[in-house]
Amino acid sequence: MNLDLTPSQPESLRSLPGLRPVGLDAEVRHLTNRLVLALAGDDIFTLRTWQEGDPQRVRWLAATWRDSGPYFRYRVRTVAGFATIGSLGLERGLRLSRAFLTEEAKPVQNEPQILIDGERFRPRQVVDLLPSADAARDAAVARVADVRAMYGRMLSDVAYRIENSALFDHAVPTTDQFERALAIWADVTDATPAPEVVRLAAAVKVTFDTARAHAETTGLGHLPEAVRAEGRRAASAARLASNAGTPGERDAAWEQVNRILSSLALYYLPDVARGQLGR
């Protein structure tokens, strides 16, 4: 196999045939039936996702594998479609620094096998062939992955979204700045200079922390005064639904949340019509 890893190539452009860099904020729903190879220091993490069920009740499954540490080497579990590569790595105790989409061969005893130019490689063999990484750049990418993972968890927490709705209202200046920082970050590529990557990652982190602090300080006060009591009831019902002991209690609580949010019809609250409630 003729792999051109000569020093004359720019570091960001040196790679292996069959491996394509992918951001740690890439979501599971966009990685269906693809194998992801990711790194966290000397640890290796692989991820494969697929979906089951009909279009109305689709569920996403993720098979993850890591080659060291106290966690199970291989695990399969249901995940949210908006879960990111970075967040799934964190669940296995890994702060990932970079990731690649690869072509997968049939696993051997649950260990992934990767195809490069028609040859099979174990993950460790592939990693040994990769060019060295830029520590500052990797830390910046991981920092944004952490923000995206946290924001994803907040989006899935209906009670939090109601009680801290300013974080999800683009009309709020601090939230608008955060969303703009994320949009600019989406244009980062391997060709983006490392200092620029570090600067843009810092902007994402600072604007997120600022928007979150403002939202949590404002709380239910962001809702129109006339509907704050209803918002408080909806948040309480959502929390009850999440902790319900029986399916009947959970369904009844979600019905109450649906009813209240439908009557409020505020664009920055969870959208009942789009199925954003965790029923």
Q: What is the pLDDT of residue 197?
A: 92
Q: Kindly report, residue by residue over 215-273, the tens digit of the pLDDT.
A: 999 999 999 999 999 999 999 999 998 888 788 888 899 999 999 999 998 999 998 65
Question: Could you report the per-residue pLDDT of 150-184, keeping only the tens digit for each?
Answer: 898 899 899 999 999 999 999 999 999 999 999 99
Q: Which residues contact 244 (CB under 8 A, 6 or more apart)?
A: 250, 253
Amino acid 213: pLDDT: 96
The whole-model pTM stands at: 0.58
Give the N- to C-terminal CA distance of the chain in Å, as an integer: 51
Tokens matching residue 64: 């993850």
Element (H, E) at 48: strand 43-52
Cα–Cα distance, 60 to 80 (Å, whole number): 6
The full set of domain ranges for the chain reads 11-133, 138-274
253 vs 85: CA distance, rounded Å: 32
pLDDT of residue 132: 66
Task: Find all residues with CB under 8 Å of 135, minimum gap 6, and list them.
Answer: none
Range in 40-49, 106-115, 222-231 the model is least confident about: 106-115
- Residue 102 token pair: 């690869």
Residues 175/209, Cβ–Cβ less than 8 Å: no
State the pairing for strand pair 119-121/59-66.
unpaired
Measured distance CA(222)–CA(238) in Å, rounded: 18
Q: What is the pLDDT at residue 170?
A: 96
DSSP state of 67: S
